[in-house]
Structure 1
Amino acid sequence: MTTRAPQRRRSAAAASAAAATLLLTGCGAQVDTPQDGQGTGSTTVTVNRCGEPVDYSTPQRAIVYEGGSADKMFALGLTDHVLGYVLPPANPPVNESPWAAEYEKGEFLSDDLLNRELVVDANADFVVAGWNSGFSDSRGITPEILDTLGIQSFMHSESCFNYPGFSEQHTPFEGLYTDLERLGQIFGVEDRAEALVTEYKERVATVEEHAPEGDPIKVFLYDFGTDKPFTAAKQVPPNDIIRFAGGTNIFGEVEARWTEASWEAVVEAEPEVIIILEYQDQPAQEKIDFLKSNPTTATLPAVVNDNFYVLDYNKAISSPRNIDGLEGFAEYLHEYAESHRR
């Protein structure tokens, strides 16, 4: 990415720690520290944003959109850099988060969709969101627009799949690791990021090692929709959750993120397990009741045998909580395999 946002002053502690120009090995981030007459440096870090190199200075007033963005910052110990958060109604209450105490230190800015006016009015210098979820052409808040306003931005790598103009793609969990590494570079906490990524990869490897034996268990994720189901395709975290746990997503070959499918395709696939995505404003039980009462889906193996697994919204979007979601679903699949594959 080319730089469009002006540099901002780093904190004194961070500036004094950056005494030289160095090249970081992780994700190709380059740090430049030009010296001024006072002997204190102004530091910029070049980090990719969906395939485009951008020069970042350390943000001090970040706005984070949805729980996934907030959790990445909090997991890296960056609470002091978070001005506030925007959480639409689908997001579960913050008191259910492992970082509930960190949310309390920031400001709840809105329960609406992310918009440019909110960011400008808050005097933010950094916005963390995904493409088509937080950032949006139609709503007039894109990284390019924020660049012209001198506001830095960071997009979830998982969402780069359908970001126009750039070709960077990651599998969903690799996108999570990439985000933590890049945020670590932007904020100068690379060691924290490396430790987190190492921990998460080890936890994923442990799940894979203990996946149920035999053919992968066929899984359908039901997001919402009655006339047609909205579901998880290949490019979103639930696909990795399903496959690492020992299942196969019945729409896992579809090259998309969240996508509309057909009930005919669901019926044909005969899923053994159905993941119900739990929204704060769309309870899982309502979706289960629909699947049981709808003649088209009532005879599905998963419905007949009551094989439903409820997945929390913040474990399904790109977030450190993806790992918790994986471990929980893997435990469920183990129990399923033991009871149905004897």
Structure 2
Amino acid sequence: MTFPKTLAALFLALPLPLHAADYPLKLQNCGVDLTFDKAPDSAVTVGQATTEMLYALGLADKVRGTSVWFSDVLPEYAEANAAIERLADNDPSFESVVAKRPGLVTVQYEWHVGPQGIVATREQFADLGIPTYVLPSDCVGKDNTSGSDGTRTAMYAMDSIYQGVTELGQIFDVDDRARALVTDLKSREAKAVEKAQALGLKDASAVFWFSSAEMDIDPYVAGRKGPPGYMMQALGLRNVIESDEEWPVVSWETVARANPSVIVIAKMDRRRFEADDYQKKLEFLKSDPVTSQMDAVRNGRIVIMDAHAMDPSIRNVAALEVLADALPAFDLK
């Protein structure tokens, strides 16, 4: 699940634009007014989605530190990423971010940097003269005060990712790169949707299993309005989970009664929980007396997907492609 190497190489090789952007640039970002008098000279990222978005825009040379990783970086950015300090695999400390004296902190989730941010609030960074930019995908149509991962108030759409790419392109004065990236992603998104819709699915359903706090307890599955919910809807699949929470905990008995046609499981490098290991997920599905009786398990209709592609990110398009490519072999008509 990678972006075309030619496009990635192009962005990494492009020089900075010769023209000057129109500064001061004013944006409203997740309820916070931002003003940039010039392009930031550096950035620290809190969230893999923002890291890869900056890399995709050819801005790796601006990144001073990264944090919050689910998977290996996309292969085309491995060399650039290796030269950049990883402040933390998971949650960085406020002090470690500030020590880099970044011109901007880019943030994937408000629960890291937001009103009750576990790293810091946006005001704490602002008091030190450090602006913060939260990806719109974590606040557009979403209430982060409800549920552990927030609750979607509207169906997720790739438009919020495209907005993030566009605005970061404006902030760093690489508008042309941002437009090229958005155009490529939109084209791939449309082709994946068209491929799946050609199957004419009528009553096919699915569930996305991210992880579980313990191997044999209720799993974290995708709610109906987050990125996986969008993927299922776009590709003609019904989500058997009806919660609007981002990743609700739902019993396996409830999932088994719904008997989804397809099970999508997350593959990640993170090992907070035993169930982060996708091989353990597969073993559980096939051996547990409840899950082993589901049609999807009995018929091998299981899709392994990059975990980071299940969260809002530019990888969502690659996830659409993976699922659209898998569906024809499942004979779900």
> For this structure pair, what is the TM-score category when the shorter chain's length is used for normalisation?
0.7 to 0.9
User: Which of 154, 165, 190 is matched with 2:133 structurally?
Assistant: 154
Q: Are residues 218 and 163 of structure 1, via their aligned partners in 2, closer, same or farther at CA, if it must alter by over 3 Å?
A: same
Gapped runs of 5+ residues in structure 1?
Answer: 1-12, 20-30, 32-42
Q: Hey, what's the Cα distance between the residues in 1 that align with 2:153 and 2:124?
A: 20
What TM-score do the two structures reach when normalised by structure 1?
0.79
Q: Are residues 14 and 47 of structure 1, via their aligned partners in 2, closer, same or farther at CA, if it must alter by over 3 Å?
A: farther
Q: Are residues 327 and 110 of structure 1, via their aligned partners in 2, closer, same or farther at CA, if it must alter by over 3 Å?
A: same
> Is 2:326 aligned against 1:332?
yes
> Is 2:160 aligned against 1:194?
no
Q: Post-superposition shift, 1:143?
A: 1.8
CA contact (8 A) 2:135 2:164 kept: yes
Residue 109 of structure 1 corresponds to 87
Q: Post-superposition shift, 1:295?
A: 1.8
Residue 54 of structure 1 corresponds to 34
The amino acid across from 1:223 in the alignment is F
Q: Post-superposition shift, 1:60?
A: 1.7
Q: Are residues 79 and 103 of structure 1, via their aligned partners in 2, closer, same or farther at CA, if it must alter by over 3 Å?
A: same
Q: Are residues 46 and 15 of structure 1, via their aligned partners in 2, closer, same or farther at CA, if it must alter by over 3 Å?
A: farther
Root mean square deviation of aligned Cα: 2.6
Q: Hey, what's the Cα distance between the residues in 1 that align with 2:220 and 2:304?
A: 16
Matched pairs, number: 300
CA contact (8 A) 1:116 1:141 kept: yes
Matches within 5 A, 1:150-229: 150-160=129-139, 161-163=142-144, 171-211=156-196, 212-225=199-212, 226-229=216-219
The amino acid across from 1:72 in the alignment is M
Q: Hey, what's the Cα distance between the residues in 2 that align with 1:333 and 1:261?
A: 25
CA contact (8 A) 2:219 2:251 kept: yes
Q: Hey, what's the Cα distance between the residues in 2 that align with 1:132 and 1:53?
A: 16
CA contact (8 A) 1:158 1:235 kept: no
Q: Are residues 54 and 200 of structure 1, via their aligned partners in 2, closer, same or farther at CA, if it must alter by over 3 Å?
A: same
Q: Hey, what's the Cα distance between the residues in 1 that align with 2:153 and 2:168?
A: 17
Deviations 1:192-211 (A, max 9, x none): 21221122112111122221
Residue 7 of structure 2 corresponds to none
SS at match of 1:223: strand
Q: Are residues 168 and 75 of structure 1, via their aligned partners in 2, closer, same or farther at CA, if it must alter by over 3 Å?
A: farther
Residue 256 of structure 2 corresponds to 267
> Is 2:308 aligned against 1:314?
yes
Gapped runs of 5+ residues in structure 2?
Answer: 1-14, 147-151
CA contact (8 A) 1:83 1:107 kept: yes
Identity score, percent = 28
The amino acid across from 2:189 in the alignment is V
Q: Are residues 169 and 180 of structure 1, via their aligned partners in 2, closer, same or farther at CA, if it must alter by over 3 Å?
A: farther
What TM-score do the two structures reach when normalised by structure 2?
0.81
Q: Mark the structure with the bigger radius of gyration.
A: 1
CA contact (8 A) 1:75 1:320 kept: no
Q: Hey, what's the Cα distance between the residues in 2 that align with 1:168 and 1:229?
A: 22
Residue 295 of structure 1 corresponds to 289
Q: Post-superposition shift, 1:140?
A: 4.6
